[in-house]
Amino acid sequence: MIPFNKPFLHGRELVYIAQAVASGKISGDGLFTKKCHKFFEEKYLFKKTLLTTSCTDALEMAAILLNIQPGDEVILPSFTFVSTANAFALRGARLIFADSGINNPNIDAAEIEQLVTPRTKAIVVVHYAGVACDMDRVIEIASARNIPIIEDAAQAIDSFHNDRPLGSIGLLGAFSFHETKNIIAGEGGMLAINNDSLFHRAEIIREKGTNRSSFFRGEVDKYGWVDIGSSFLPSDITAAYLFAQLENLNQIQEKRKYIWHVYWNGLKSAVDAAGVFLPEIPVWATNNAHMFYLVTRNIEQRTHLIEHLRSQGVNAVFHYLSLHNSPYYMHKHDGRSLPNSDRYMNCLVRLPLYYEMTNDDIDKVIESVLQALKN
Q: Does 320 map to a domain?
A: yes
Instruction: Quote the mean pLDDT of the chain.
Output: 96
Q: For residues 239 and 97, state if they share a domain.
A: yes
- Mean pLDDT in residue range 40-45: 97
Model confidence over 239-279: pLDDT tens digits?
999 999 999 999 999 999 999 999 999 999 888 889 999 99
Q: For residues 146 and 208, state if they share a domain.
A: yes
Q: For residues 46 and 34, state if they share a domain.
A: yes
Model confidence over 135-182: pLDDT tens digits?
999 999 999 999 999 999 999 999 999 999 999 999 999 999 999 999
Residue 322: the pLDDT is 96
Domain boundary among 194, 225, 247: 247
CB 211 within 8 A of CB 204: yes
Q: Range of 322's domain?
A: 249-374
CB 189 within 8 A of CB 56: yes
Q: For residues 25 and 111, state if they share a domain.
A: yes
Residue 222: the pLDDT is 73
Q: For residues 369 and 337, state if they share a domain.
A: yes
Model confidence over 276-310: pLDDT tens digits?
999 999 999 999 999 999 999 999 999 999 999 99
- The CATH code of the domain that includes 288 is 3.90.1150.10
Q: Does 3 map to a domain?
A: no
Q: Where are the alpha helices (DSSP H) in 272-358?
A: 299-311, 339-347
Domain boundary among 247, 271, 299: 247
Residue 214: the pLDDT is 73
Residue 44 φ/ψ, nearest 5 degrees: -110, 0
Residue 215: the pLDDT is 65
Quickly state the pLDDT bin for 315 (edges 50, 70, 90): very high
- Overall number of domains in the chain: 2
Residues facing residue 314 across a β-bridge: 2
Cα within 13 Å of Cα(126), Cβ side:
29
Q: For residues 356 and 313, state if they share a domain.
A: yes
Q: For residues 218 and 301, state if they share a domain.
A: no
Q: Does 296 map to a domain?
A: yes
Model confidence over 328-368: pLDDT tens digits?
999 999 999 999 999 999 999 999 999 999 999 999 999 99
CB 137 within 8 A of CB 111: no
The strand pair at 189-193 and 48-52 is best described as antiparallel
- Mean pLDDT in residue range 40-55: 97
- Mean pLDDT in residue range 65-89: 98
Q: For residues 277 and 191, state if they share a domain.
A: no
Residue 207 φ/ψ, nearest 5 degrees: -105, 45
CB 134 within 8 A of CB 140: no
Alpha-carbon distance 52 to 174, whole Å?
Answer: 10
Domain boundary among 217, 247, 277: 247
Residue 234: the pLDDT is 97
Q: Does pLDDT of 33 surpass 70?
A: yes
Q: Does pLDDT of 200 surpass 90?
A: yes
- For the four alpha carbons of 364, 130, 80 and 188, in that order, the dihedral sign comes to positive
Q: Does pLDDT of 124 surpass 70?
A: yes
Residue 213: the pLDDT is 76
- CB neighbours of residue 89 within 10 Å: 19
Q: For residues 160 and 309, state if they share a domain.
A: no
| DSSP character at residue 313 | T
Q: For residues 98 and 197, state if they share a domain.
A: yes
Q: For residues 117 and 258, state if they share a domain.
A: no
